[in-house]
Amino acid sequence: NNRHTDAATEVHHKMQCNFSGTTLISVLPPVLVTQFLGGIIGNGIALWIFCSHLKPWKSSTVLLFNLSMADFLLNVALPFRASYYKSELKWMFGETFCNICLFMLAMNRSGSTFFLMAIAVDRYMRVVHPYHPINSLSILNATLGSMGIWVLTIVMNAHIFFLRHDQESYCESFMIDTKPHKNFTWHRFIFLFSFLLPLIVILYCTVCIVNHLRGRQLAQHAKIKRALYFITVVVTVFIVCFLPSNIAQLVIWIKTERLSNTLSPSLLCSDLENMTTVFYITISLTYLNSMLDPVVYFFSSAAFKNVLWKALHLPHSETAESAEKKTRETGSRSLSQL
């Protein structure tokens, strides 16, 4: 009986599975520390460029800046999560701060997906509908729109502040209940919704942009190539970071539904041990967006790229000013909006 408990799981009186997390204890601390360091460096450079060198801002710059701020929330919480796993799933900072950290992680997930969606829509409008008034959105209105996204993500994730953790040292927002109907919580709905809606919108924008440019036979133009690279990077970052954890969550739901009527709670939890380990590892992939988002900024504009090359003392083909001049000289509204 002791061997079974140590190797697999325990089930407490509320029929939730408490996992030993042996693999997570060894794998996640170095991964989270690496993501923290990469995110701090990448986003620190990005914020420096946004605030010191990209002036005047455009509406698209406002969206990119807010995406970087979403990553900042993650970087605040990551060291504490690394400490939690390093301490063998023992949270040492109190339940209130546990919920604050879980809230920041959830805000990063929702904020990142919604701002990536907004960035994709912004590029879609500039390429496919270059004469639409929204492309001339003022910085104030873009800021108000970004504030709206933040309010939405706060409202969707505010419930995390009221989580109760049955084990004093446990700090998790995703617990498996042996009764399937209790697994579909608001928290899990938001987890899926924050992925599926942006995924549909981003894929739609991508397909429309590609088809539009192919139809106009502009795919070889330098600025058009940059637009294609940019939207491809957005899609890649989104799928790499957020698809695996959502697939793992769905598999756990389906498996719990199928096995709950045939296995006892203790056996069910034991059977789900490996899948739950996979889920928590894929959750760590969502934190990777903090390291990959700077790639999005890099492809967002020639100005950002040239400032970075100059700061690193690397050769670059043209300055930000000449890039803007070249844009004006094209005489094409659809190109100048990119």
317, 287 contact by CB (below 8 A)? no
Nearest in space to 213 (alpha carbons), one of 203, 195, 227? 227
Residues 235-271: pLDDT tens digits? 999 999 999 999 999 998 888 888 777 877 778 888 8
pTM of the predicted protein model:
0.84
Q: Per the domain annotation, does 159 fall within a domain?
A: yes
Residue range 195-208: average pLDDT?
95
Q: Per the domain annotation, does 2 fall within a domain?
A: no
**Percent over 90 (pLDDT), the chain:** 41
Q: Per the domain annotation, does 232 fall within a domain?
A: yes
69, 107 contact by CB (below 8 A)? no
- For the CA atoms of 305, 200, 213, 296, what is the dihedral angle to 10 degrees? 0
Structure tokens at 113: 């997906």
Residues 18-32: pLDDT tens digits? 777 788 899 999 999
Q: Per the domain annotation, does 50 fall within a domain?
A: yes
Task: List, in order, residues 6 or more apart from 215 with CB less than 8 Å away.
Answer: none
Q: Per the domain annotation, does 94 fall within a domain?
A: yes
Q: Per the domain annotation, does 4 fall within a domain?
A: no
Three-state SS for 230-255 is HHHHHHHHHHHHHHHHHHHHHHHHHH
Q: State the Cα–Cα distance between residues 33 and 39, nearest whole angstrom.
A: 10
Residues 205-217: pLDDT tens digits? 999 988 888 777 6
Phi/psi of residue 16, each to 5°? -105, 145
Three-state SS for 259-288 is HCCCCCHHHHHHHCHHHHHHHHHHHHHHCC
The lowest-confidence range among 20-29, 51-60, 175-184 is 175-184
Split into its structural domains, the chain has a count of: 1
Residues 132-158: pLDDT tens digits? 888 888 899 999 999 999 999 999 999
State the residue range of the domain holding 41: 10-336
Q: Per the domain annotation, does 5 fall within a domain?
A: no
> At 82, which CATH number?
1.20.1070.10
Q: Per the domain annotation, does 150 fall within a domain?
A: yes
Residue 296, H or E segment: helix 289-300
